[in-house]
Structures are given as C-alpha cells and as structure tokens.
Amino acid sequence: MRSRVLTLADPRAVDLAGILQPFALDQKKLDRELQRLLNPYIRWEKGTTVSSGDVVVCKLSSPCPRFQRDQVQFVAGSGMFQRDLEALCIGMSVGETRETTLQEGAVSVTLMKVTNKIVPALTDEMVEKLELPEVHTVEEYRAYLMEQQREEQFWNVLYEPQHYLIDQMIAQSEFVLYQEDWQHVVDLRLERLRAISRHEGMVLEEMTPEQFEGRIPVKSYFELVAMEQASAWKTLCMHLIGRCFAQETGFAPREAEYEKQLQEEQKAWGYTEEAVREINTYSSYEFFAYYNLALQTLNGVIREQFNQGAC
Amino acid sequence: MIQTADKSNFNDLIQGDFVVADFYGTTCVPCKLFSRILEDLEAEIPFLNIVKLNTTENPEIAEKLGIRAVPTVHFYKDGALVASHVGVMQAEDVKSVLAEHMYA
C-alpha cells in the first residue's frame, strides 16, 4: 500500500464539547437498582396503621358503583387502585373511617386490615450473596452499579461524537492517497460480501431487491458498489490512522487473533471453517485490524472526555 | 407471587382472580428487562398473581394464543383475557392496567 499519513492530527485537540453529552448519574435509577437487591428480604407483618407501600383492606361506601365495596385490597401509594384514595389511607388506623370527595363522587373509607411492608436496610451480607467478583460491600456495590450506568450511557451517546471525531481527524490530518489503495478497500469489502452471498446460495452481482432487503440497505449490486466506493476513502484514511497509532503502541495484527476471530464468527453464524475462512481472508483481517485500532483509540479519547462529567 | 407455567398447567394458572401473564423467549434481552420489572412489582404488590411462560419451550401455547413477539403481556380476570400488550411495559403502565381492569 503506497498511501500514507503525512501529519496526524491530535484527537485530544478536537473539541467535542456540545456534541458529547458527559456522564450524568441517574440517581433514581441507581436507587431503584439498590432497592431491587432488597426485594427477596422484604417481610409483611400484620399492623395497625398505614404507611405508603403497605397492603390495606378497606370497606368503601359511595354513590359511585366503583367505590361501593365491602372489601377491597390494594397497596397504599402504589397507584394500582385510585391514587387519591390510596393517599387518604396513609396514616389511618384499623377501624378508622375517613371521607373524601373524588371526581366520581363522595367516598367513605373504613380501614379493616393493614399489612405493613418491612424493608430491611441493605447490608454487606446481601451484597456478598450476589457473588460478584470484587464486590463485597454496599459501597462497592454502589460503585459497581454506577460503573455499569456509566458504561451503558457511554455506548448510548457514542455514535455522534465518534463520527464527528473521525471526520475531524481525517480533515485535520494530511494524507497521500492512491486510487489503487481505494480500489483495494472496495475490493476487500465486495469480496467478503461475495463470499457471504455465495454461502447463502446467491450470486452477489445478481441479487434482487428482495434478496438485498434485510441484508444490505441497497436495491441492486450497482447501488452496493456505489455505496462501498463512497465509504472507501474514509475507511482507507482510518486504516492509515490506525497504522500510525500502531507505531506508537507497538500493535500488530496477529495470526492467533485472526484464528480466534474465525472461531467466534464460525460459532456465531454457523458457517463451516472453510466458509468462514473464505469470508474473512487474512488480508481483510489485517486491513481492518488497523481500522479497528483507530476506532478503539478514538473511542478512548471520547471516553476520557465523557468521564469528566459529574458523578 | 410469580409462577412458571408450561403447557400442562397454563390454563389452570390463569384462572385466578386477576393474573398478569408474561410470555417470554429464552434469548430475548427485552424479556429479561421486563422480568426484572415484574419482580419489582411482585415485591410491591405481594398479592398480584404473575404467571411466566417460556414460548421457546412451549411453542404450542404461544401459537394457540397468537403470540407473535416477545415479550407479550396478557392480563386475565377470572380466566378471561381483558388486556394485552406487546413489548416491555414499565411498572407504572402495568399498574395503570391493574387500575383499569383489576377493580372493574
């Protein structure tokens, strides 16, 4: 390959502010997850007064048929029956009667029975039972959940800044690009797709719009070639950027990694070993290993800025 | 209470006063999310009857009931289907269905 990078832009110098949403902890979600750990430890005990979350049995009297009941059971404050009535029950004692006027009409509520919800405090022992590696205490579990949330949020917000950073890296770097290398990228992609379609009993060049549907977002082979040609310059640039990063880090594509990738693909798609080797040639693996290194490195830069958000 | 159904007991399990039936698939990721929501609901509403049916292992029932996607949620009152939903439901949405049908 004769194409090369003359000067490489510094990805850390690209301003992602305004595009990248920094990490912001969702406290409600965190609390919900912590609460979830307590679910198996909740106890229910016969009680005398109602708090939010308790199970109550009431007698209702009203001109409205929905609220004419000798006995109705619901959870106070849950919203599963009627929010205003549930709120009215909170603080009531067994035998007590309260009255209210709802949109539907006047209702008289007599508390017949209450079962209190007893939620224990979260303990290290409860966390230990989860058998999570290196998570033994409530604080460690809290940190673990926050890290999960951070990871989930990162992948959710990555798309836009990733594409912006790739575009900026290409725009701010200097390349010498040869058309023969661009053609090589197009050929690599088409050869792979040709092999896949062959193993699925089709001929890539003759595929119909129906056969493309759900597989590749084009309607004809010519449209596919145009699509691959349009993206090949960017792919080539990313490969070259990856080669620069490889020089800095000592990365090199390895035969063992290629074999591992083949095994994974064979397992995931159910192809024979012969088919999977034909679909993923070593030269294709080698080319895209540098491309992926570029992508991972840029993702790392985005992650640094993302992590600077409040936690 | 959450109970796991199969083709031998599904019809019996939905005969309760009010039952939420969750039709899920073995490898379905959204189903796992909904399963956790149901566990939260069970912890909040201990008298709610929840029945779970694995459609991967019990395709005959899924076909008979016209389940075409998972998760699908059915709400039964005295054994009769009163509401259904395809896709994950949030806890508040499940409670809205309870408010509408469980006490109707």
Q: Residue A160 and residue A305: Cα distance in Å, rounded?
A: 14
Inter-chain CB proximity B36 and A79 less than 8 Å: no
Confidence grade of residue A310 (pLDDT, cut at 50, 70, 90): very low
Look up residue A106 and give its amino acid: A
pLDDT tens, position by position, A133-191:
999 999 999 999 999 999 999 999 999 999 999 999 999 999 999 999 999 999 999 99
Per residue in B3-37, pLDDT (tens digit) is: 999 989 999 999 988 999 999 998 899 999 999 99
Q: Does residue A61 belong to any structural domain of this protein? A: yes
Q: What is the SS3 assignment for A177-191?
A: CCHHHHHHHHHHHHH
In a shared domain, residues A195 and A267: yes
Which among A78, A81, A82 has CB closest to B44? A78
Pairing of strands A4-7, A174-176: antiparallel
Q: Cα–Cα distances in Å, from B21 out to A193, A272, A275?
A: 43, 41, 43
DSSP B12-38: HHTTSSEEEEEEE-TT-HHHHHHHHHH
Domains of chain B: 2-101 (3.40.30.10)
**Annotation marks residue B28 as catalytic:** yes
Is the Cβ pair A80, B102 closer than 8 Å? yes
Res. A271 pLDDT band, cuts 50 70 90: confident
Cα–Cα distance for residue pair A23/A16, rounded to 1 Å:
14
A183, A184, A187, A191: CA torsion to nearest 10: 180
- Alpha-carbon distance of A66 to B101, in angstroms, equals 11
Band (pLDDT 50/70/90 cuts) for residue A68 is very high
Cα(A232)–Cα(A235) distance, rounded to whole angstroms? 5
Strand partners, A179: none
> Are the beta carbons of B95 and A80 separated by less than 8 Å?
yes
CA proximity to B73, closest of B51, B56, B58, B100: B51
The domain in which residue A188 lies consists of 4-21+154-308
Q: Clarify whether residues A160 and A273 are in a common domain.
A: yes
Q: Are residues A295 and A176 in the same domain?
A: yes
Q: Does the ipTM exceed 0.90? A: no
Task: Output the pLDDT for position A18.
Answer: 87
Q: What is the pLDDT of residue A311?
A: 41
Query: At A17, is the pLDDT very low, low, confident or very high (cuts 50, 70, 90)?
Result: confident
What percent of chain A is predicted at pLDDT more than 90? Answer: 88
- Chain A neighbors of B46, CB-CB under 8 A: 44, 55
Is residue A31 domain-resident? no
Per-residue model confidence as pLDDT tens digits over A209-226? 999 998 999 999 999 999
Query: For residue A93, what is the domain's CATH number?
Result: 3.10.50.30
A271 and A183, same structural domain? yes
Domain count within chain A:
2
